[in-house]
Amino acid sequence: LKSITLSDKQICDIELILDGSFSPLDGFMNKKDYNSVIENMRLSDNSLWPIPICLDLNKEKAKEIEGSEKIALRDQEGYLIAVMNVEDIWKPNKKEESESVFGSNDLEHPGVYNLHNNMNSYYVGGKLNKVNSPLHHDFKILRNTPKNIRDLLKNLQHENTIAFQTRNPIHRAHQELMLRAMKELNANLLIHPTVGLTKPGDIDHYTRVNCYKKILPYFPKESTLLSLIPLAMRMAGPKEALWHALIRKN
């Protein structure tokens, strides 16, 4: 099979498609789903989904895989992650996508800048057949699939669970909010930090995860779970918030 080497962002996306975090997505979006998301925040089957999840390619690679029914998707060391059934290859209107997702075309916005300057001009979409999960060499014990998390939550003290989504170290005020919410709702706590791509200038994830580990003893052990999510954030404001809610629901 012809191969595509995935970028760091694409590795984040493929992992969350394959492990069910991005359910109901079962692959990178085809053209029909992409257009539907851009126009009305829904997939072509009418499922709510606010952010396009696309595999971007340069012109040369798009031409190379033209006519291929299946392609191999690999990490940067050549490790095979999945095989894609190619459904569509197209050139999106980036200006239109930017206005839809970010409400702006201002390059000062990190998401707009990334779309126009770091993402390639063509998209390829299609269902994925998993071969291997992407490899991680750090914090392995803290990396859980949605199914793992659901199983781990069953072992905690309470029936209800609240979750805290973060891409920065936890502040004292955050800690107090979480503790009060746990008490008021008689709930477990899932601390669920993003360790994929965030925005330029953010603290690296190694430092942040070590901060989260240090704060754990200040929460009740029998009802607190720390788990990492390799999410490439888009910085898309309200649509990002809705997207995070769908991901955390999964």
Active centre residues (catalytic): 166-168
Q: Is-contact 82 5, C-beta < 8 A?
A: no
* Helices 94-102/31-40 angle, 10° precision: 50
Q: Which two tokens stand for residue 241?
A: 């918030």
Q: Is-contact 162 199, C-beta < 8 A?
A: no
3-state secondary structure of 247: helix
> What is the H or E stretch that residue 218 is in?
none
C-beta atoms surrounding 180 within 10 Å: 10
Q: 52, 44, 55: which is closest to 100 by C-alpha?
A: 52
64: Cβ–Cβ under 8 A, 6 or more apart, which residues? 2
Distance CA 226, CA 191 (A): 5
153: Cβ–Cβ under 8 A, 6 or more apart, which residues? 161, 188, 190, 225
3-state secondary structure of 166: strand
